[in-house]
Amino acid sequence: MKMYPGHRNKEIETSIARAVEYLETIQMPDGSWYGNWGVCFIYSTWFALVGLAAAGKTYYNNQAMRRGVDFLLRIQSPDGGWGESYLACPNKVIEFISAIELCLDKWENTFIMD
């Protein structure tokens, strides 16, 4: 929309609204989103939050955004990181590990600080 203002605005706005509705619909009761790969709850929650933010949603104007951010803050380890077991994906239940996976810390901190 920025590069071609006015070009197919209605279709773009409809697609964005449908994407937001989809993300809100598939959010888990605990505020997370389930991904379908390795470390699935933390990554998918981060990706969903980034998508909602791209659609103009914020912690203050969107319940799904609040629930997702609150989920990440609630599961944060005492040392400030996050650690999710690879077993979370096949078991479809978030499972934690004792060692922190540094690559995940980067993504979640990036989003929460934005």
Q: Which pLDDT band, with edges at 50, 70 and 90, does 100 fall under?
A: very low
For residue 7, pLDDT beyond 70: yes
> Could you read off the pLDDT of 49-79 as tens digits, one per residue?
999 999 999 999 999 999 999 999 999 888 7
Helix 63-74 with 9-26: angle, nearest 10 deg: 40
* Summary mean pLDDT of the chain: 85
Q: What share of the chain is helix, strand, coil (3-state, %, to 5)?
A: 55, 0, 45
